[in-house]
Structure 1
Amino acid sequence: MDRAFTVLAAALLAIALAGLAVAAVAAPPARTATDTMAAADHAAKALRDADQFALISGRGNAHACQAGFESLRHAALRGKALDQLTLGALYLHGRDCGSFHLARNDHEASLYLAHAAIQGRLLAMPALAELDARRGRALQANVWALAYLHYAVPAQQNTGYPASLLHRTLGMLSQTQNKQVLADANAFILRYNAGIEAGQQQMLAKLQRHAACRIQLVHRHPHATLWQPSVLRIHPMHRALVLYLVAFGRDGHVHKLAPVFAVPQWRYAQRFRVIAENRRVEPAPACGRALRWALLPVELDNHRYRITGRT
């Protein structure tokens, strides 16, 4: 009897231990404090992204838009160049979002865009050139236009929107200013070149660190004809630059899109949004993010468009 009891107890103990082993294998590892903080940061960033998109798109309630503005402003004041570019662009055009109203403010736009530009956010340069042209500041407008041509245009080709911008701003100069502008542009580049190049390198390094989530267009240099004009001629109206904020899903399709700025006229932002909406990027199922956010610049040139490569 005792022997039988001993055998039964041993069998029950073996079964219990086996069950514990299975449970230990099946149970997920305990979350560490670092994992919990990372998850909280990820959730907070997703909320900030949603609030900022609500503000930029103008399709949110007042609470979300106010929160988006405050988070952008806080980051911009801390020196974040991307947020400075975005906030400056919002001030450039103004934004209505529910009952939240951000009035156009040339001074604030110039301040934030200039800080973004000298940290390597190149698309702030044409926005500043257009802003200074609108304010009648011909010399400053030309310096920004020449700087944009120097940094952002491959081989400094004087074509397309940059050529149109430079042509319009040069036409504003007096004879004295015309002689001065190249010296001023060279002085600007000499003074800020290190910071601009460093900013570009930092953006490249960030892309390399997050290779799994990198935004890569399916077609690197897409071109397409928008419409066929009855008379082939160059007209400044057909040259523009539009910057969109786009959220791509893991499948590479556009899930959200909103125009950030459009120059020389805001009407291009809505008229050509279909170009950005139809973009595709390489899928990233292993990215770990539901949405990948990117700034997508679209340059329009005499009835054609191209996706520019640098922001």
Structure 2
Amino acid sequence: MAAPAPKRDDPDGTAIYAVLDAHAPHGQREAALRQLREDAEHGSAFAQLLHGALYFQGPQGAHALLPRDPALADVYLSNAATHGNVFAMAALAELELQQHHVLQANVWAQIEPAPDCGKPLRYAPLPAQFSRSSPGTHG
């Protein structure tokens, strides 16, 4: 009996390992990357996170397969973040800071997934010193 096909929200572990294994044959890594890209396009938050991270790191990353492309990193990481992936949220905050978008970075740093992770994102409460009613704040 054949093993069931992996769900789209749970990419095949062998593809993930192949992409991340710098010693695997290049053709095998490219094929695995194509599979993960397809998973990302079908809504896998983990595959979106992985693609975003690879575009974010570019050739300086230990597992470099993709060029550094902040715009594509933003697309993939944003999709993973809207599915509740907190690692994508943290990467987006870092990406925004690298682009000197301090406000956007702060927004990503303040968002957290809803408790059941099946609901839309919600904002984490701001500390009192940042609320509009606090003395010395702008607003």
TM-score by length of 2: 0.69
What is the aligned residue count?
113
Amino acid at match of 2:53: A
1:108 equivalenced with 2:25 (yes/no): no
C-alpha change, 1:77 and 1:199, in structure 2 (3 Å) is farther
C-alpha change, 1:126 and 1:97, in structure 2 (3 Å) is closer
Once the two structures are TM-superposed, the CA of residue 57 in structure 1 deviates from its matched residue by 3.4
Once the two structures are TM-superposed, the CA of residue 112 in structure 1 deviates from its matched residue by 0.7
**1:24-43 to 2 correspondences below 5 Å:** 36-37=1-2, 39=3, 41=5
Q: In 2, are the aligned partners of 1:121 and 1:199 still within 8 Å (CA)?
A: no
C-alpha change, 1:67 and 1:198, in structure 2 (3 Å) is farther
SS in structure 2 of the partner of residue 197 of structure 1 = coil
**Percent identity of equivalent pairs:** 33
**1:169-188 to 2 correspondences below 5 Å:** none
What residue is the counterpart of 1:119 in the other structure?
83
Amino acid at match of 1:115: N
**Separation of aligned partners in 1, 2:28 and 2:82:** 30
Unaligned residue ranges in structure 2 (runs of 5+): 7-11, 120-139
TM-score by length of 1: 0.33
What residue is the counterpart of 2:32 in the other structure?
68
Unaligned residue ranges in structure 1 (runs of 5+): 1-35, 43-47, 152-195, 203-311
C-alpha change, 1:101 and 1:83, in structure 2 (3 Å) is closer
Aligned-residue CA RMSD (Å): 2.7
**Separation of aligned partners in 2, 1:135 and 1:81:** 24
Q: In 2, are the aligned partners of 1:59 and 1:97 still within 8 Å (CA)?
A: no
More strand by percentage: 1
Flag the structure with larger Rg.
1
**1:1-311 to 2 correspondences below 5 Å:** 36-37=1-2, 39=3, 41=5, 48-94=12-58, 101-147=65-111, 151=112, 196-197=113-114, 200-201=117-118
Once the two structures are TM-superposed, the CA of residue 102 in structure 1 deviates from its matched residue by 1.3
**Separation of aligned partners in 2, 1:121 and 1:102:** 21
**Separation of aligned partners in 1, 2:5 and 2:92:** 34
**Separation of aligned partners in 2, 1:81 and 1:65:** 20
**Separation of aligned partners in 2, 1:116 and 1:124:** 6
**Separation of aligned partners in 2, 1:137 and 1:199:** 30
Amino acid at match of 2:105: A
Once the two structures are TM-superposed, the CA of residue 118 in structure 1 deviates from its matched residue by 1.1
What residue is the counterpart of 1:270 in the other structure?
none
